[in-house]
Amino acid sequence: MVDAGRHHDTCCYVRVVPGLSIFGVPGLPEIEPGTDLAPAIVAAAAADGMPLVDGDVVVVTSKIVSKAEGRTVEIGDVEPSPFALAWSAMWDKDPAVTEIVLREAKRVVRQLGPVLITETKHGFVCANSGVDQSSSGAHGRLVLLPLDSDVSARGIRAGFAELGIDAAVIVSDTFGRAWREGQTDIAIGVAGIAPIYSYIGQVDPHGHEFRVQAICTADELAGAAELVKGNTSRVPVAVIRGFEWQRDETVSIAPVLRDQSRDMFR
């Protein structure tokens, strides 16, 4: 197995690997409300010896975005509704958590047994409206999804630009899927980089025109980033270097959200 060599004593040279490289950005400070993420990420990457460069795709876990934006709720401050109280009692859940999940939802998609799948106000279909109670940094605090992850991503990309770095930004979260066990990281906000790459109209090596294929590269990039973020050290930011993308300041995650009229599974 190749030695990744992050902490080699001697400087380590190898033939450049074509394709992509993906690495985590360790050493970020604890994120507080008001933390300016872009300079914190730039500083941490530089301190780790891997400074950001133009063309990088920086994948930022939504949890630190939410913390920086103050999107947290103290459980003790929440007054559950009668509906939240009754359902939570049936399934041994914290009614305050259920209450916040419902407040974050546009509607309930499935509520079966202890499982609550909602459509968030953004239009994401996920468990518990993306509300995170597992590792919020303090007992009794919930971390909600950013109000608008595209705006969050644009802010971080703009922060990089102020520091002279032209990097795309993807805000990611960990979602479950229909039909398949195990969660994957997917994109909930983008800046600079379009979330979907379409082959439609292009021609394959055998001369056939692609008729339907469009790839959600933003989700693949978010998942790829999880592979280096997702260990017990829980590094919240990863960099993907070498991926070619077209600068576009008009992008949003909206094209990824299937309209309900086109969705056979909602």
Binding positions for a copy of itself, 84-103, rule CB under 8 A: none
- Nearest Cα neighbor of 87 from 58, 57, 66, 118 is 118
Decide if 75 contacts 96 (C-beta within 8 A).
Answer: yes
Interacting span for a copy of itself (CB under 8 A) from 64-72, 88-96, 145-153, 198-206: 198-206
Longest dimension (CA), the chain: 64
Question: According to the binding rule CB under 8 A, does residue 192 interact with a copy of itself?
Answer: no
Which residues, numbered 11-50, are part of the site for a copy of itself (CB under 8 A)? Answer: 11-24, 49-50
Each as own residue / partner, the long-range contacts of residues 89-98 (CB below 8 Å, 24 or more positions apart, any chain) are 94/133, 97/128, 97/131, 97/133, 97/142
Min dist CB 23 to a copy of itself, Å, is 3
Q: 3-class DSSP state for residue 47?
A: helix
Paired tokens of 230: 């997702």
Does residue 40 contact residue 28 with C-beta atoms inside 8 Å? yes
242 interacts with a copy of itself by CB under 8 A: yes
Contacts (CB under 8 A) with a copy of itself, residues 105-134: 110, 112, 115, 117, 124-125, 134
CB of 43 to a copy of itself, least distance (A): 18
**Binding piece for a copy of itself, criterion CB under 8 A, among 35-43, 69-77, 85-93, 177-185:** 177-185
- Nearer CB in complex with a copy of itself: 81/237: 237
Interface characters, 244-263, with a copy of itself (x: CB under 8 A): x----------xxxx----x
Contact 134, 144 (CB under 8 A): no
Q: Pairing between strand 72-74 and 105-112?
A: unpaired
Shortest distance, position 259 Cβ to a copy of itself, whole Å: 9
Tokens 């941490």, residue located: 44
- Give least dist CB 70 to a copy of itself, A: 18
- At its nearest, how many Å lie between a copy of itself and the CB of residue 239? 8
